[in-house]
Amino acid sequence: MIKVRECIKGFPQGFLWGGASAANQCEGAFGVDGKGLSLTDLHPYTKNLDRTKLDFNHMTKKRLEEIMADENLWFPKRQGVNFYYRYKEYLALLAEMGFSTFRLSISWTRIFPMGDEAEPNEAGLRFYDALFDEMKRLNIEPIVTISHYDMPIHLSLKYNGWYDRKCIDFFTKYAKVLLERYKGKVKYWIVINQINLIQYECYGSLGILSDTVQNYPQAQFQAIHHQFVACAKVIEAARSISPDYHMGTMIADCTLYPYSCKPEDVTLALKRNRMQYFFTDVQFRGEYPMYALQYFEKEGIQLAVQLEDEALIGKYAPDFLCISYYYSYCLDASKNTMDAASTTKNPYLEANEWGWSINPAGLYSSVSQYWDRYQVPLMIGENGFGYVDVLEKDGSVHDDYRIHYLRGHIEALKQAVCDGAELFAYCSWAPFDMISAGTSEMSKRYGYIYVDYDDLGNGSGKLYKKDSFAWYQKVIRSNGEIL
């Protein structure tokens, strides 16, 4: 018999509201308490930056050596916004806004400074103990990312990052240390940040030096295969450590619309969107889909897969899917290809200085489509609007553009929830300003809280509430009713 349920009118009771961050972009405290050197500690600030281009993406050994030898470079992520020293101040403001959750990542190099040591670094572990204790005191539920773009540089230089199967063991060991240590303090884990984002942030994600391999796409997918196996092993470990653990995987969704109703555009969009689903198809369905195998064959990609891998991936599927969403693009078959970085601007949408379009409807469609495809609990792990905010003389920041962006996206989410998607959390990126992942600049601000540092790390470091602070506070208080 068909059951008719009552219509849902908004976000469910107990919905988690908060924001998201990453250790490498906010903590700072470079080299402190035994921290090792990570990939992003080497992401320099570039003067006269072309904001639409990412320079720390396809990293070569040659370029990395140049960066390491250049004493004049400034590395903003080494200072971040001093979260390591000031986390109590930041968390107090998040609590004031009413945050019931805060997504953060653990810095791999604080725990295993080189990545392949036998024992973890106790000082690093102690820092997160203190952080989680403070969050507990403030009733803020942590959602913890185990790896967010900060692999130890040693693993990249010695093993070529995730390309080497050994990385599975290094990572699993690191993750197990966290799962054991923070049992009772953390319930929600995201194993790898945006596992699908290999067209951008690919050095940060995979640690492969592109000039050291013959077929870079092949190396990337091999590395991704290793990440799939590692995720399954981490989930396997989590199941035996605590029944309370909820283990998530994460993708960055960029909805791709056909540029026109020409069948070629529609088919290209379908095929490209399917290659975005590839990652979660493998993780939730437990096997490599045929469309991906066909794609690999065409591209000359041959994966080294061990016999037990597929069974392991199939057995240890994640419990939930975390989605980050910022913008959407179009595909025009006369210009674009299957290459994941090839896209066309949507002429109907406005965009920010970095070319990131504003499209709440894209969030509705991606959440709905992921829900329809997997029917697993979903959370929004990142969503936000980067802008060059202006700090007024009286300490105010009038960021109505950010409120406008977030309002539209939360409305779209509410619609997706009302249409059936099971969503348990919304974390905007990022509750306080921090260094941009893509361009390593401070000027690309996302926060409800203005942090007074500039691109070169100068400034008072004072924290100011932007107009969006009070707005988000109301959104949280009303469980998303007052937007």
Positions touching ligand BG6 (CB under 6 A) are 22, 25, 193-194, 252, 324, 382, 386, 429, 436-439, 444
Long-range own/partner contacts, residues 285-288 (CB < 8 A, 24 or more apart) = 285/317, 286/310, 286/313, 286/314, 286/315, 286/317, 287/313, 287/314
Q: Which is nearer to ligand BG6, 101 or 436 (CB)?
A: 436
Q: Which is nearer to ligand BG6, 57 or 260 (CB)?
A: 57
Find the shortest distance in angstroms from Cβ 355 to ligand BG6: 11
Find the shortest distance in angstroms from Cβ 383 to ligand BG6: 10
Distance of CA 318 to the CA centre of its chain: 16
Find the shortest distance in angstroms from Cβ 464 to ligand BG6: 20
Q: Which is nearer to ligand BG6, 313 or 321 (CB)?
A: 321
Q: Which is nearer to ligand BG6, 231 or 237 (CB)?
A: 231
Give the residue among 277, 255, 248, 239 at the shortest CA–CA distance from 101: 248
Q: Which residue has the closest beta carbon to ligand BG6?
A: 438
Q: Which is nearer to ligand BG6, 19 or 152 (CB)?
A: 19
The encoded tokens of residue 23 equal 């250790």
Find the shortest distance in angstroms from Cβ 48 to ligand BG6: 18
Find the shortest distance in angstroms from Cβ 21 to ligand BG6: 8
Do 202 and 160 meet the contact criterion of CB atoms below 8 Å apart?
A: no
Find the shortest distance in angstroms from Cβ 197 to ligand BG6: 6
Do 198 and 254 meet the contact criterion of CB atoms below 8 Å apart?
A: no
Distance of CA 204 to the CA centre of its chain: 11
Q: Read off the DSSP letter of residue 451.
A: E
Do 319 and 377 meet the contact criterion of CB atoms below 8 Å apart?
A: yes
Q: Which is nearer to ligand BG6, 237 or 430 (CB)?
A: 430
Find the shortest distance in angstroms from Cβ 306 to ligand BG6: 30
Q: Residues with Cβ < 8 Å from 333, sequence gap 6 or more?
A: 259, 262, 264, 265, 267, 268
Find the shortest distance in angstroms from Cβ 420 to ligand BG6: 27
Distance CA 88, CA 387 (A): 26
Q: Which is nearer to ligand BG6, 437 or 476 (CB)?
A: 437
Q: Which is nearer to ligand BG6, 105 or 336 (CB)?
A: 105
Q: Which is nearer to ligand BG6, 49 or 241 (CB)?
A: 49
Find the shortest distance in angstroms from Cβ 53 to ligand BG6: 12
Q: Read off the DSSP letter of residue 473.
A: H
Biggest CA–CA distance in the chain, Å, is 72
Q: Residues with Cβ < 8 Å from 86, sequence gap 6 or more?
A: 461
Find the shortest distance in angstroms from Cβ 24 to ligand BG6: 8
Q: Which is nearer to ligand BG6, 202 or 413 (CB)?
A: 202
Residue 351 Cα distances to 120, 328, 387, 443, angstroms: 44, 10, 11, 16
Do 473 and 466 meet the contact criterion of CB atoms below 8 Å apart?
A: no
* Number of other CB atoms surrounding residue 376 within 10 Å: 17
Q: What burial letters (b/e) apply to 209-235, b meaning 16+ CB within 10 Å?
A: bbeebeebbbbbbbbbbbbbbbbbbbb
Distance CA 103, CA 143 (A): 4
Distance CA 116, CA 319 (A): 28
Q: Which is nearer to ligand BG6, 176 or 466 (CB)?
A: 466
Find the shortest distance in angstroms from Cβ 342 to ligand BG6: 19
Distance CA 227, CA 175 (A): 13
